[in-house]
Amino acid sequence: MEDELLDSVRDEAYPEAGVPHHTNGAVDGAELRDLIAILGAMRAGDFSVRLPTDWDGLWGRVADIFNDIRCVAHACDAHEHAETLVASLSQRVENVRERAATIPDRPRSFLMEWVDPPFCSGHWGPELVEIAGGYDSLGQKHQPSAQIEWQRVLDARPEIIVLALCGYDIGRARRDYELLRRFPGFNSIPAVDSGQVYVVNASSYFARPGPRIVDSLEILAGILQPGEFPEFVSRGSLDPRVVQIG
């Protein structure tokens, strides 16, 4: 039943996949307290509770997801399963947040949403990077992604580049990486010099605000802080989530 609930509220299309597997960390403590209070109310049998609808960024999307799960659960009379699912998702987010918050070394990162022309990440993307243990000076937190000058990327000197190209799976993103390699000054970027360029399956994990937003956080944690999060590190060239290519 838990898997069926997740199927009901997840995004419209995950073409190749089935049900997902199981600031320095700056997240508003009030939002976390509200989330804990909601879970407590559900455990006490009050399934009418809802998270606020006016939160921004990642926690705003998480609140929307949890509220949708509860709506589906109410319609299906599956409240206990909804509680289990919401608790599991929130615990996974908090697991990453708590562990990454203690890490002092946060690599300069660039979460790239489009190659030509270059687009930085927006909406919840920069916050995902922040919670996962990185720092993206180019991202637009709580704002739409935006076109940026390539020189800004060169000036930022990212130590890790993640290609999360809107609507692209790994195979399609690989082709755009070949285009990116021809950009002037590409080889001067520290991430390129150290082989820290990754492509992710943005179509399934990054482009839509559904339950897999938690998977995207874990993917980033494995990229940005592999020593702390070895369980999320890429499993190699056939990993359907993330591949190291540079």
Encoding tokens for residue 9?
């509220």
Structural domain boundaries in the chain: 2-101, 109-244
- CA dihedral of residues 134, 151, 168, 245 (deg, nearest 10): -70
Of 118, 114, 96, the residue nearest 232 (C-alpha): 96
DSSP annotation of 66 reads H
Over residues 165-177, the pLDDT tens digits come to: 999 999 999 999 9
Over residues 108-161, the pLDDT tens digits come to: 999 999 999 999 999 889 989 999 999 999 999 888 999 999 999 999 999 999
User: Mean pLDDT: which of 45-54, 89-98, 115-124 is highest?
Assistant: 115-124
- CA dihedral of residues 67, 87, 111, 155 (deg, nearest 10): 110
* pTM exceeds 0.85, yes or no: no
- Which DSSP string corresponds to 128-179? HHHHTT-B-SS-EETS---B--HHHHHHH--SEEEE--TT--HHHHHHHHHH
Share of the chain above pLDDT 90, in %: 56
Q: Domain 109-244 is classified in which CATH homologous superfamily?
A: Nitrogenase molybdenum iron protein domain (3.40.50.1980)
Over residues 215-232, the pLDDT tens digits come to: 999 999 999 999 999 999
Encoding tokens for residue 78?
């599956």
Q: How many CB atoms lie within 10 A of CB 207?
A: 18
Residue 242 phi, psi (nearest 5) = -155, 140
24: pLDDT confidence band, cut at 50, 70 and 90? Answer: very low
31: pLDDT confidence band, cut at 50, 70 and 90? Answer: low
